[in-house]
Amino acid sequence: MLDAARIRTDFPLLRQQENKHRIVYLDNAATTQKPQAVLDALANYYRTTNANVHRGAYDLAIRATEAYEAARSRVARFVNAWAPEGVVFTRGTTEAINLVAGSYGRANVRAGDTVVVTAMDHHSNLVPWQILCQEKGATIRMVEITEDGRLDLSDFGRALERRPKLVAFPYVSNALGTINPAAQLARLAHAAGAVVLVDGAQSTPHLRVDVQALDCDFYALSGHKMLGPMGSGALVAKPALLDAMPPYHGGGEMISRVWDDHSTYNQLPHKFEAGTPNVEGAVGLAAAIDYLEGIGLDRIAEHEVALAGAAIEQLSRIEGVTVYGPRDHRAGVVSFTYGDIHPHDIATILDQDGVCIRAGHHCTQPLMRRLNVAATARASFYVYNDRDDVTALTTALAKAGALFGYVPA
Amino acid sequence: MLDAARIRTDFPLLRQQENKHRIVYLDNAATTQKPQAVLDALANYYRTTNANVHRGAYDLAIRATEAYEAARSRVARFVNAWAPEGVVFTRGTTEAINLVAGSYGRANVRAGDTVVVTAMDHHSNLVPWQILCQEKGATIRMVEITEDGRLDLSDFGRALERRPKLVAFPYVSNALGTINPAAQLARLAHAAGAVVLVDGAQSTPHLRVDVQALDCDFYALSGHKMLGPMGSGALVAKPALLDAMPPYHGGGEMISRVWDDHSTYNQLPHKFEAGTPNVEGAVGLAAAIDYLEGIGLDRIAEHEVALAGAAIEQLSRIEGVTVYGPRDHRAGVVSFTYGDIHPHDIATILDQDGVCIRAGHHCTQPLMRRLNVAATARASFYVYNDRDDVTALTTALAKAGALFGYVPA
Amino acid sequence: MDTSRPEPQLSALYQELILDHYRRPRNKGTLEGATHSVALNNPLCGDEIDLQLRLEGDVIKDVRFIGRGCSISQAAASMMTQVVKQRRLADALALADRMSAMMHGDEAAARDRTLGDLRALAGVAKFPVRVKCAMLPWNALKDAVKS
Amino acid sequence: MDTSRPEPQLSALYQELILDHYRRPRNKGTLEGATHSVALNNPLCGDEIDLQLRLEGDVIKDVRFIGRGCSISQAAASMMTQVVKQRRLADALALADRMSAMMHGDEAAARDRTLGDLRALAGVAKFPVRVKCAMLPWNALKDAVKS
Ligand SMILES: Cc1ncc(COP(=O)(O)O)c(C=O)c1O
Ligand SMILES: Cc1ncc(COP(=O)(O)O)c(C=O)c1O
């Protein structure tokens, strides 16, 4: 286990009080808190380096460009990208996936084609494909899940029989915590002739990721879910694929020559980064990666698995609580319901003790329908959580039980 | 004139040295430096308020949502938007324009239609329309400029005879400093049946903007050019137009109901804000607006006009220097060339004295062709610049003249 | 430093009467012969209500709802159907305004007897994010008669 | 606190010889009977070069360029044409590597006489953003013979 109490001292927000309680922040799958090191990186950037990138002939602009490109290389190393120019900075996972749908998808998916997604995909890895398929007259094929919240591999196989143009799935489910066998899925999809997009929003913060080992084609991630600033994220892709793709946004920086009625485009990755990029976001994300690697991704994964295990164990002992998702091959996300207490009521009650959890459909409405619930309560863990937080969760939950008459007050 | 020396003390970066000189930052049209108030707003947000917005039932998430929505209202008030829900946060002007081209444009521009742009548009307000027109088989019609760098109004009139679907132009030119008669252009374009997009990247930081008085339909702005964080910006639009537009990015937050193969969409502005937004960016932009309004936009405009006037006056006295753009109705952007000294060489030489200017085509290649230059040197002023900076510019320029043999060393 | 709001009262929020309406909703189901209906959801939390009315002249003769969501939204819907049934539409809409006032902390509204059981929801005012839940059925009512 | 790099030498950058090549470029124009040609630009600054070669066997028999850009890129192009003309291609490409080494601060390369006038560009190494300018013609050469 990590020394979470020590780690918490690095996080200014977690030193605050909430409703007179220490903040027990268990909504890490939504977004994470930021360590002082990341806040310092942002402030330092603005104090010493800020300028627009790539076009300045003065020293400040050169330093800004270097900081920005160093951040790109940092992200590339972190996920073992094919090349730094295969890292395109975006606002987050959602924009990265929309970039692929809007550029690769529009250029390659045709009427009658199939795009495969899964019943556990986040709306951000579903709606862009729905929009694309509607526009093109193509079909969405959603792979079903098993009773215990894993991908149904035989249904995945059946979906591949349609020889889809593209297969998209989450590495880790944000609603169930399931870790999907991403490398195996990518191999099967490639064998069926599909291009593979992995939604890495929940895997990048929590596991050691190697996109080359996964051998996917596109990989999307969000900086704000891994201690980085809001508004940071990336698409990581095979450069040859990016090279062949039409541009996404038009504008400054992504061009080579601009004529009155047409243009030629810049090389990678600039072709996909129109306009002034979020340099601050990139720099902050690089600092977050430094922080995470300082702890070690393997240790982080181990820590979260232990906390999730403890939470599942304690929650399962409460009569009336149902925990969703698989028991193993899972990350630190625990979704549950408690009798007929609506998850929103649970969240409101827990908040009075400073325990922050999410309640709702977690942007996975198709999954909720399959689980036959409208919403769940979800606790998700990170480096600064520990067993005390699990206890705070279950203790506060007992109050909810008492208010709703499940257990004596 | 503003007390720029006082104002500079609010800007940590401007207190640094560059090549042993005080930094004379004259690249404000590219991006601006940030006052301590904005850096504090960012740090405070992360220290006290950070959470994902809109879906949290706990207090922290509510405060984050309130901060984000308060920033939206702040931007709305600043430019007198039609309604707060007519403000869609984007990464900057480029993304805002691409949103309009990708959503409104794709839905409304058809084969044979015309989109009107101007010869002084930034690539970000040109390339998206080129891409759209290529996709749709529509035509770009570029309005010419006059000798002294204004829009040619009679050519604008001729362009409108084609009854374009959309007319796009910059309120203020980033390369020439020209202030276009935006309200008049919008009125003419509307009379011809067009929808009007105003590129406000260079006007929002420097003039008092009232989008309802302009009566445009879409207005794009960048936060980082007005003291706000990198990665912040907005599209401001008439809500009825936004309402009728198809979504832009698919993903979390922009949906209402998600089924396996289709979805219904959320109300404004959420429909256009898929995924986790850059809350930090919005909060920082609001703080920047507070800072700017603390000074007063009218005083800012006056200050810049005075500096640009002084710069033009002093530059014009140097033999061999050519200043581009009009002499009046202009903002604080001064483009020039100096004999056969390439602008890049000028920028390199000035940088040795800590004077930061931009050299290049300023993302306006069609304009450069019309000016018959490959590049210009550009000094652009803001609240923290003063007459000393103008002197620093011309003094350093004399060194360039000496190195290249124009004036005795 | 405590930057959060003062601690509101959980027990004031989750009163017996609210849980009773949540668990034994009144007027739940489909209404035969409805003249007006609307389906509304709260995009922020996913709570849903499908409201059906039978208006005769300007009187709400009958009302039913189907819904899913938290105790607050579902109890509010159940309570609302009780107080608006057999009432004139104008009076029902006036009650919507009273309800809104109460949700925004108006103490006089919270003592208004015409709100009936709904006064039990006064505690929601302390939980801003739940105000939308309590108002969901009332917004549905307004929407339904607008169309 | 000075966070910037130490001040480089402007006069080392803008030497007489460089300005001379900038203003009176050698081998500028179009080459009749070119066997290889390429147009390259530096997307960061917009500097352009259009390079044309006539190879006979493995010897660069003639070379011309057309270009627009800063003194560094244009002088570098002019100087390059001088040293590669009549040279074997392999030797010219080896010179490209020497040039690149010099641009990255290699002092031995800066003393290599085979670079001819190009040694005047050694000062560019202190201005990282201008290194791309100095290398533009050499990158064009490599591109031209690759195709
Ligand atoms: C007139 C104009 N339009 C558009 C842009 C693009 O803005 P951004 O890079 O912030 O997207 C700029 C700034 O570079 C500009 O000056
Ligand atoms: C699995 C998954 N995919 C995509 C997203 C969207 O990420 P973002 O909101 O950062 O764009 C999220 C986070 O909400 C997620 O958990």
Strand partners, A263: A258
Q: Which of D11, D8, D134 is nearest to B402 (CA)?
A: D11
- Give the chains touching D; criterion: ≥3 Cβ pairs < 8 Å: A, B
Question: Are there at least 3 beta-carbon pairs closer than 8 Å between D and A?
Answer: yes
Could you tell me if A325 and A335 are in contact, meaning their C-beta atoms sit under 8 angstroms apart?
Answer: yes
Partners of residue B345 in chain D, C-beta under 8 Å: 14, 70-72
Residue nearest to atom 7 of ligand 1 (CA): B93
- Separation of CA B273 and ligand 2 centre (Å): 13
Strand partners, A153: none
Q: In a structure prediction context, what are the per-residue pLDDT tens digits for chain B, which is 409 residues long?
A: 899 999 999 999 999 887 788 999 999 999 999 999 999 999 999 999 999 998 778 989 989 999 999 999 999 999 999 999 999 999 999 999 999 999 999 999 999 999 999 999 999 999 999 999 999 999 999 999 999 999 999 999 999 999 999 999 999 999 999 999 999 999 999 999 999 999 999 999 999 999 999 999 999 999 999 999 999 999 999 999 999 999 999 999 899 889 999 999 999 999 999 999 999 999 999 999 999 999 999 999 999 999 999 999 999 999 999 999 999 889 999 999 999 999 999 999 999 999 999 999 999 999 999 999 989 999 999 999 999 999 999 999 999 999 999 987 6
Buried b (16+ CB within 10 A) or exposed e, D66-78: bbbbbbbbbbbbb
For D70, which of B18, B344, B399 is closest by C-beta distance? Answer: B344
- Cβ contacts of B314-319, under 8 Å, gap ≥ 24: B314/B390, B314/B391, B314/B393, B314/B394, B315/B393, B315/B394, B315/B397, B318/B394, B318/B397, B318/B398, B318/B401, B319/B406, B319/B407
Residue B6 C-alpha, separation from nearest chain A C-alpha, in angstroms: 17
Partners of residue A270 in chain D, C-beta under 8 Å: 43
Question: Are there at least 3 beta-carbon pairs closer than 8 Å between C and A?
Answer: yes
The answer to whether the Cα torsion of D12, D14, D19, D25 is positive or negative is positive
What is this model's ipTM?
A: 0.93
Q: Using CB atoms within 10 Å of the CB of residue D23, give its burial: 0 to 12 exposed, 13 to 18 middle, 19+ buried.
A: middle
Q: Which atom of ligand 1 is nearest to the CA of B174?
A: 16
Could you tell me if D3 and B12 are in contact, meaning their C-beta atoms sit under 8 angstroms apart?
Answer: no
Residues of chain C with pLDDT under 70: 1-8, 43-44, 147
- Chain B interface with D: residues with Cβ < 8 Å: 16-20, 340-345, 348-349, 352, 359-361, 374-375, 399, 403-405
Could you tell me if C72 and C134 are in contact, meaning their C-beta atoms sit under 8 angstroms apart?
Answer: yes
The reply to whether domains B4-28+297-403 and B39-293 share a CATH topology is: no
Residue B349 C-alpha, separation from nearest chain D C-alpha, in angstroms: 7
- Separation of CA A224 and ligand 2 centre (Å): 10
Partners of residue D45 in chain A, C-beta under 8 Å: 55, 57
Partners of residue A57 in chain D, C-beta under 8 Å: 45, 129-130
Q: Which one of 3.40.640.10, 1.10.8.350, 3.90.1150.150, 3.30.930.10 gives the CATH number of domain A39-293?
A: 3.40.640.10
For residue A111, the SS3 value is coil
Residue C31 C-alpha, separation from nearest chain A C-alpha, in angstroms: 23
Residue nearest to atom 14 of ligand 1 (CA): B30
pLDDT of residue A274: 97
Residue with the larger pLDDT of the pair B201 and D3:
B201
- Give the chains touching B; criterion: ≥3 Cβ pairs < 8 Å: A, C, D
> In chain C, what are the domains?
26-146 (3.90.1010.10)
Q: Do B360 and D46 touch (CB under 8 A)?
A: yes
Residue A68 C-alpha, separation from nearest chain D C-alpha, in angstroms: 15
Q: Do A55 and B276 touch (CB under 8 A)?
A: no
Joined tokens for residue B75: 């931007």
Query: Which residues contact ligand 1 via a Cβ below 6 A?
Result: A 252, 275-276; B 29, 92-94, 122, 124-125, 170, 174, 199, 201-202, 222, 233, 363
Partners of residue A347 in chain C, C-beta under 8 Å: none
Q: What is the pLDDT of residues D18-77, one digit of tens each?
A: 999 999 999 999 999 999 999 998 866 778 899 999 999 999 999 999 999 999 999 999
Residue D5: closest CA among chain A residues belongs to which residue?
Answer: A59
CATH of domain B4-28+297-403: 3.90.1150.10
Establish if C3 touches chain B: CB-CB under 8 angstroms.
yes
D 106-145 residues with CB < 8 A to A: 128-130
Joined tokens for residue A221: 């991630």
Query: Ligand 2 pocket test: which of A171, A174, A226, A227 has the largest number of ligand atoms within 8 Å of its C-beta?
Result: A174
pLDDT of residue D8: 55
The answer to whether the Cα torsion of A325, A327, A330, A332 is positive or negative is positive
For residue B233, the SS3 value is strand
| % pLDDT > 90, chain C | 76
pLDDT of residue B226: 98
Residue A344: closest CA among chain C residues belongs to which residue?
Answer: C70
Could you tell me if B334 and B177 are in contact, meaning their C-beta atoms sit under 8 angstroms apart?
Answer: yes
Could you tell me if D28 and D78 are in contact, meaning their C-beta atoms sit under 8 angstroms apart?
Answer: yes
* Catalytic residue status for A216: no
The pLDDT confidence band at residue D3, using thresholds 50, 70 and 90, is very low
Query: Ligand 1 pocket test: which of A276, A278, A280 has the largest number of ligand atoms within 8 Å of its C-beta?
Result: A276
pLDDT of residue C5: 41
pLDDT of residue D146: 86
Q: Do A231 and B33 touch (CB under 8 A)?
A: no
C 60-89 residues with CB < 8 A to A: 68-72, 74
For A59, which of D5, D41, D45 is closest by C-beta distance? Answer: D5
Joined tokens for residue A176: 């169930």
Q: What is the pLDDT of residues B155-213, one digit of tens each?
A: 999 999 999 999 999 999 999 999 999 999 999 999 999 999 999 999 999 999 999 99
For residue B282, the SS3 value is helix
Helix and strand counts by DSSP (H, E) for chain B: 15, 17
- Separation of CA B403 and ligand 1 centre (Å): 33
Q: In a structure prediction context, what are the per-residue pLDDT tens digits for chain A, which is 409 residues long?
A: 899 999 999 999 999 887 788 999 999 999 999 999 999 999 999 999 999 998 778 889 989 999 999 999 999 999 999 999 999 999 999 999 999 999 999 999 999 999 999 999 999 999 999 999 999 999 999 999 999 999 999 999 999 999 999 999 999 999 999 999 999 999 999 999 999 999 999 999 999 999 999 999 999 999 999 999 999 999 999 999 999 999 999 999 899 889 999 999 999 999 999 999 999 999 999 999 999 999 999 999 999 999 999 999 999 999 999 999 999 889 999 999 999 999 999 999 999 999 999 999 999 999 999 999 989 999 999 999 999 999 999 999 999 999 999 987 6
Residue B213 C-alpha, separation from nearest chain A C-alpha, in angstroms: 27
Residue A125 C-alpha, separation from nearest chain D C-alpha, in angstroms: 34
- Chain A interface with D: residues with Cβ < 8 Å: 48-49, 54-57, 59-60, 62-63, 255-257, 266-267, 270
What residues of B are labeled active site?
363
For A252, which of B122, B231, B251 is closest by C-beta distance? Answer: B122
Establish if D44 touches chain A: CB-CB under 8 angstroms.
yes
Provide the strand spans (E) within B255-305: 255-258, 263-265
Residue D8: closest CA among chain A residues belongs to which residue?
Answer: A59
Ligand with an atom nearest the CA of residue A230: 2
Query: What whole-number distance in Å separates Cα of residue B137 and Cα of residue B109?
Result: 9
pLDDT of residue B54: 80
pLDDT of residue C3: 39
For D46, which of B340, B352, B374 is closest by C-beta distance? Answer: B374
Q: Enter the pTM of the model.
A: 0.95
Q: Which atom of ligand 2 is nearest to the CA of A91?
A: 11
Beta strands at A263-265 and A255-258: parallel, antiparallel or unpaired: antiparallel
Q: Is pLDDT of D5 > 70?
A: no
Residue D132: closest CA among chain A residues belongs to which residue?
Answer: A57
Question: What residue ranges do the domains of chain A occupy?
Answer: 4-28+297-403, 39-293
